[in-house]
A and B are shown apart, each in its own frame.
Chain A
Amino acid sequence: MEKSRYLIKVRRSRKNYLTAYLMISIIVGTLLVLNYYNYSITPKVLILSSLFIFFLLSYTEYHRIKDWWAITDHSLVQSRGLLSKNVREIDFSSISDLDVDQPILKRILNFGNVNVRLFLNETSISITDINQPEDFIKELQSIISLNKRKKEHGIGTL
């Protein structure tokens, strides 16, 4: 699985962490308003707030970058984890169908899950909280079709 062979690589969307960003905004906003109206903010509270914001930002970024999914010209690659990795490569011939899972809020914000089901009776792949999941499915379907046509015409991949 060489990196250069990835045609498309996706990670979770930052839209998935809007609640966390909203919490940070509320804390920063409250501190600014209190400071504007000359209320005293103790250093301990300021340090605690900064630590909480730092923890929340670090956790969301870690959660976002730890998993990724990629499409090569003949397979779908899934990588889970950052320190302990689990990489799985699924050949297009194993994929039976694809579906998009988008509750209303995710639909409004245009992100969601893509479920990749396999022919074999094993666990399927869930590509979670990616941006524009419908476009991703279209791209994946066109790459799969192209791959099928190549196979039918006997054009192999290197």
Chain B
Amino acid sequence: MELERYNQPNHKRHRFITKLLVFLAFLFVISLILFTSLHSDFSFTGNVIQSDPNNSFSISSETGIPELSLNGDYSQITLSGLKDSDIILGDKIISLNNVEDQLILYDFSGKISINKNSLNILEGKASKIVMNGAPLTNKNNKKLALSLPSPTNYNSLVFKESVIIPSIDFVTSGNVVLDGDNLALNKENLVIKGFSGNFKITENKLFLDGLVSRVDIVGKTKTISISK
């Protein structure tokens, strides 16, 4: 007399394989959690949207400031002119009343959203924050969480290293130099795709210097599209 199929070798083998697969999935999930958290520079996709030098051309521009959101890891960001606002560092709220307030964020990971007049979102974590020359770090060498409770004015925003922006689309005036050719814009729609390079906002102007995969300028009478 034998017990039914639930005790038979085939069923036992099937149960063992199911348990093994679940355990391997568990190991994968827990390893991924630990790896991505302890190595903040880890990326699922890598820098796949970075401009390919073979399919891109140089850009150097001085234009108005678009509405833009950036999300990623940046080695150093310098912000200045944050006035009449507060900033939340960890669980403390620090008031920024001085026009000279300058904030330098080292190893920042998070989100920044800007427009012409204000810094709307600054939310993320940084390994070190220097506020008006005074460094702030976490006691445990962990990253400091920071955010803005409300949009604030700013004078300048400078990234130390190359910034990758998949797309910018805005109406602006200014100068754009593409592979040495100068184009003057007068309230025209500028579309930049696949930008990688230096990014600086100062004196109410956006300065870009790097590589781009495509640029479209849509004027009142004609459209210029440049790509390789």
Q: Chain A: residues with CB nearer than 8 A to chain B?
A: 19-20, 23, 26-27, 30-31, 34, 37-42, 44-45, 48-49, 52, 56, 59, 115, 117-118, 121-126, 128
Report the minimum CB–CB distance from A11 to chain B (whole Å): 14
B2 on interface, CB distance cutoff 8 Å = yes
Residue B29 lies at the interface, judged by CB distance under 8 Å to chain A: yes
Bound state CA distance, A72 and B68, in angstroms?
70
21 contacts between A and B (CB under 8 A): A27-B33, A38-B142, A38-B143, A38-B144, A39-B142, A39-B143, A40-B40, A40-B124, A42-B44, A44-B44, A45-B37, A48-B29, A49-B33, A52-B25, A56-B22, A59-B22, A122-B1, A123-B4, A123-B5, A124-B1, A124-B2
Let me know if B48 is at the binding interface, CB within 8 A.
no
Q: How long is the Cα–Cα vector from A30 to B124 in the complex, in angstroms?
A: 20
Indicate if the CB atoms of A41 and B33 lie closer than 8 Å: yes
A52 touching B29, Cβ below 8 Å: yes
Q: Does B94 contact A (CB under 8 A)?
A: no
Interface size on B, residues (CB 8 A): 32
Query: With the chains together, A15 CA to B32 CA distance in Å?
Result: 28
Residues of A within 8 A of B1 (CB): 117-118, 121-122, 124
Chain A residue numbers with a CB within 8 Å of B109 are: 40
How far is A125 from B3 in the complex, measured between Cα atoms in Å? 6
- Contact A40:B125 (CB < 8 A) given known A117-B1, A125-B4, A126-B7: yes
Complex CA gap A125/B23 in Å reads 29
A115 neighbours in B (Cβ, 8 Å): 3
